[in-house]
A and B are shown apart, each in its own frame.
Chain A
Amino acid sequence: MNFYKRCNFIFVFAFQVVLLVSCVSDVDLDRIDEIILTPEIEADLVFFTLNTANFDAVNESSMQISVRDTTRLEFLDDAIIQEYLQELELMYSVENTFNRTLINRSLFLDNAGVIQYEVIFPIAASQDGEVVTTSFQAVLSQEDIQGIRNAIQLVNEVTLFTNGLPYDGVLSFQSKAIYSLQIADL
């Protein structure tokens, strides 16, 4: 074997060795099926401000006055809620200067108007016109979340217990939700 043939052999052999030892190992491409996205989305829900005039406008019993508003929440019918929602927290913060106790009810209704999930919490009264902040948090169970999935409307109702006495003040209501999603089968 002359010099050139030896060189030729060496390099071709070296290349073959490289190609032979080349491999893909210690990986499992089937794991792509195990990919799960788990984003947690924090988003505002509803907010409003009520003052004395809002309650004055309601022709109800003088002992307690309720104001309510209803809206459809079309996003509850989206795949995000219907398929991917795993956990849900609702958080409320209410600043109140009314010198009376109030109660907030957030009702999630289905298309037929049947209550699927309900959040009720009292709003602390102000003693001397100072702003009193009430915070409330609801961590929903799986059963509650199923109720949310069935719902499409939200009724928010605030009841002011006047006890027949004069009332005056402002109520600022804030709410948000944390949606914990689990998105698989990408």
Chain B
Amino acid sequence: MEKNCSARTLRTLITGIGGLVFLFACEMAKGGTSQAAKPSQSPQSSQTPPGDLTQVSIENLMNMEISSASKKEQRISRTAAAVFVLTQEDIRRSGMTTLPDVLRLVPGLEVAQINANNWAVTSRGFNGRFADKLLVLIDGRSLYSPEFAGVFWQVQDLMLEDIDRIEVICGPGATLWGANAVTGVVNILTKKAKDTPGGLFTAGGGIQERGFTGARYGAPHGDKLDYRLYGNYFDRGEFQNVAGRAAGDNWDGVRSGFRIDAQTTSKDSLILEGDIYRDAANSQNHVATFTPPFNTTPLTQTTSLGGDVLGRWTRTYSPLSEFSLQMYYDSLSRDDVVVNADLHVFDIDFQDHLSRGPRHDFIWGGNYRTTTDSVSAIGSVSLSPASLRTNLASIFLQDEIVIVPNRLWFTPGIRFEHSPFTGLNVEPSGRLLWSVSKNQSLWVSAAQADRTPQRFERGLHDITAVIPGPGGSLTSVDLLGSPSAGDEQMLDFEAGYRAQVTKLVSVDLSTFYDHYKDLQTREPGSPFFLANPVPHVVVPLFYANEMHGTGYGGEFSIAWKPAVFWKLDAGYSFLHQVFQLNPGSQDPSSLLSAGDSPRNQFQLRSQFNLPHRTEFDTSVFCVGRLPDQSVPAYTRFDLRLGWHPLESLDFDLIGQNLLAPSHLEFLNNTGLVPSYVTRGAFVRLTWRISH
């Protein structure tokens, strides 16, 4: 309910959803009463209740969590953390086309688009292009960059139709997921190959989404193995620059991949999956040079070429105990105007889940990751040394203890992690869940999570600006890595409540109080003289950890199914953070940027099934202003009209950002020139060919 939820929003909404909904609702109410207890041979053609699950295999039905009004899986009701789950249905009906945009649907996540192909995504503050306290994984593969921290959202253009669900935890998840899962964890899980048999073809285009296409084919091979292959391509249009003209930041990408699921024995299952992709994205970046005009913002192309392959073996000993071993290799070569960076990650991970007696449910595991990178400076950014291999190792143990059966659980856990630059991190957590009744639970938790320094904090040399002085002398402001850059730490206390109020309404509330210490700052050092590439004086800023602070806030979500054909989701989040520099620190800029998040965010989504196999979905996102960046509050309004004339065919008409011709979401601080997000509208065709 930020300031920007304007009268215009109201008008659009009421005339849009309201009118249609009301008419249809009256109709349904009439039909509903006359239908009662009367023998009826044929289904009501005017009604297409959601959730035809007959195409789901019986085995998968058995794995499905039974929910009522809430789309959330019921096992969430046993998790003592702020968890939110997005389903494939939520994703499909949102009309969103990129992974970061899909995350807007999660209350508490802060998603801001910087330009057409860059996003800033975080949870509970500290946003930025390289927001470094949110850990994101796809099927257990970490997307967190060990070179620059954060996620390159640009290259995460997987086929959204392949996603089974996205589980998001706001708050620390370091005990289970490791360092850098400080303020949140996003876990993207793709569908099993068994669940994607047959062919799928999508294509569409319009304004902003200039053209996209995707194809998938899945089939069983024998009775123990299923596979799928996919390929997709997109071409997205440009946003507007500050002058209201085309910003030139259009981009395109192509991606292909596979997933194989095999049940080798009754106890063993294997997963093998991989992707290969290439993206070319245009953007304007600040570049500092020692020749006039010194500081420019050229429009250049960033190309990314990457691939990954992941294998996982799971052995199930009993319904309550299993062992899994996972390995992946991930490679990304990214060339932009200032730096060419190559990255190779090899990761091996095992987890053992076992119940001991009626009271203990242990999960423990270990992880080893080796990262090799090489960075060649072509512009003003370099890393020292230019190539480095680092290793990370960790072990963790968590036990879910039943204190009172079916009532009270206590889950202590701890992780020991040896990070490449700062050595041992200890990340403990304790969570207590009280199941007040069958339908409601209360939880509290305390946890510590660390963000460990990545490559750039130790070895960066970034010439951020060159200032010409009298007599041809040159001074540059350089951001430098420092051997003393250390861990950032957060101590987190949370409490939450969730309830299935009726069969049709569920609510989830989480609140937190955080204490941060040793937060990253950039401290000025004594100027020095450098002879290369031209003689100049360097005013250095060194990475340090000279800030601390506190924060509190909460997330609230409510899911409501007013009728069989209608689902509503609303979410609200609040965040307030206060930071202070340690005595001796001389970096006021970090003080401002660290706390620069919207205080209030609100969203309302409606999924409505209309007669004649049509769906009408709308969503509103109200995002508060960013005070330090002077980015005003904005309201995003999206609309989707879906029609599926045949079981195998869907047509969608999608409008995005419909309220204003353009708006700004983020002014970043990483050398990228931001653009104004513009309206988009496109059509999408989805054709399923059954196997």
A and B are interacting partners: no
Q: Which residues of A contact B (CB under 8 A)?
A: none
Q: Which residues of B contact A (CB under 8 A)?
A: none
